[in-house]
Amino acid sequence: KQEVTQIPAALSVPEGENLVLNCSFTDSAIYNLQWFRQDPGKGLTSLLLIQSSQREQTSGRLNASLDKSSGRSTLYIAASQPGDSATYLCAVKGYAGANSKLTFGKGITLSVRP
Amino acid sequence: NAGVTQTPKFQVLKTGQSMTLQCAQDMNHEYMSWYRQDPGMGLRLIHYSVGAGITDQGEVPNGYNVSRSTTEDFPLRLLSAAPSQTSVYFCASSYSFTGSFTDTQYFGPGTRLTVL
């Protein structure tokens, strides 16, 4: 059974820092991996999706990398801002066809201090 | 596009009551799913559907029922509410074909349910 781990559960950094959020998964046979952002009391918003054949994806100040063989992904946030404060979740999709299920990590709650 | 919409936003039920959580999407997505989010447990899949008329169970299906009569709507029914069903419920959808952008999951804003 696929397990997704995100450590630490919470992180507090000063504004302007470059930071890395980690995600690890136990089964490397994945179809894709997604990073989501969740603001308090809100739904999830997809940030980046990396297909299993890709090594990284970039969107603005965000860069996500994928190392399938080691079961790891990282989300890099450049020049963090207070508006980046949220919970960040990663989710992997298994390879049992296009409709296989997503397995989520429990998320990392990020606080960026002004 | 309105994206994925959910109603109601908040609901309080008494033990034993039944209700339906509504979910709709206007993106012509084939794949729709229901999750519950609990502190310390993360997101867990309840039921999912790969198209109109097709549904299947997820990780925690007991006490819930779903149907998919149209592409747009995917309601979740609580048959006899229990305090253990107190949670935040999210509906999600995706286009469901293989390919890079089509697999992105879109989430609704959630329904916060309390069962007394």
Instruction: Name which of A31, A99, A102 is nearest B105 (Cβ-Cβ).
Output: A102
CA distance, residue B73 to nearest chain A CA (Å): 18
Tell if the CB–CB gap between B97 and A98 is shorter than 8 Å.
yes
Q: Measured between beta carbons, which residues in chain A are less than 8 angstroms from residue B4? A: 43
pLDDT digits (tens, 9 = 90+) for A36-88: 999 998 999 999 999 888 999 999 999 999 999 999 999 999 999 999 999 99
Q: Cα A43 to chain center, whole Å?
A: 15
From CA B55, how far away is CA A3, in angstroms rounded? 24
Examine the pLDDT at B10 and tell me if it is beyond 80: yes
Q: Cβ–Cβ of B107/A44 closer than 8 Å? A: yes
Q: Cis ω on the peptide bond leading into residue A14 (within 30° of 0)?
A: no
Task: Confirm if A6 and A89 have CB atoms less than 8 A apart.
Answer: yes
Q: What is the mean pLDDT of residues A89-114?
A: 86
**Structure-token pair, residue A94:** 């298994």
Q: Given an 8 Å threshold on Cβ–Cβ distance, is A32 in contact with B40?
A: no
pLDDT of residue A97: 56
| Closest to B113 (Cα-Cα) out of B78, B92, B88 | B88
Which tokens is B82 given? 């229990």
Rounded to whole angstroms, what are the CA distances from A43 to A107, B40, B53, B82, B106? 13, 17, 26, 24, 9
CB contact under 8 A, B48 and A42: no
Residue B36 above 80 pLDDT? yes
What's the pLDDT at B2?
81
Pick from B23, B29, B25, B22: which is nearest to B1 by CA? B25
Whether A95 shows a pLDDT value over 80: the answer reads no
Asked whether the beta carbons of residue A106 and residue B42 sit closer than 8 angstroms, the reply is yes
Q: Give the DSSP letter of residue B83.
A: G
Res B95: pLDDT: 85
pLDDT at A31: 86
pLDDT tens-digit profile of A16-27?
999 999 999 999
**Portion of chain B with pLDDT greater than 70, in percent:** 94
Q: pLDDT band for position B102 (50/70/90)? A: low
CB contact under 8 A, B107 and A45: yes
Per-residue confidence at A111, pLDDT binned at 50, 70, 90? very high
Residue A106 C-alpha, separation from nearest chain B C-alpha, in angstroms: 5
Adjacent-strand bridge partners of A32: A51, A93
CA torsion A92-A97-A99-A103 (nearest 10°) is -20
In the predicted model, what is the mean pLDDT of chain B? Answer: 92
Which pLDDT band, with edges at 50, 70 and 90, does B98 fall under?
Answer: low
DSSP annotation of A7 reads: S
pLDDT at B101: 55
Q: Parallel, antiparallel, or unpaired: how do β-strands A108-113 and A10-14 relate? A: parallel
- Of B43, B50, B59, which has the smallest distance from its Cβ to A99's Cβ? B50
Rounded Cα distance between A92 and B19, Å, is 31
Q: How far is A79 from chain B (nearest CA, A)?
A: 26
Distance linking the first and last C-alpha atoms of chain A: 41
* Chosen from B29, B43, B54 to mutate, greatest number of chain A CBs within 10 A: B43
Average of pLDDT values for B77-97?
A: 92
Top pLDDT among B7 and B59 is at B7
Identify the pLDDT of residue B99: 53
CA A90, A95, A96 angle in degrees (round to 5)? Answer: 125
Residues of B in contact with A32 (CB under 8 A): 103
Query: Is there a contact between A103 and A94 (Cβ–Cβ < 8 Å)?
Result: yes
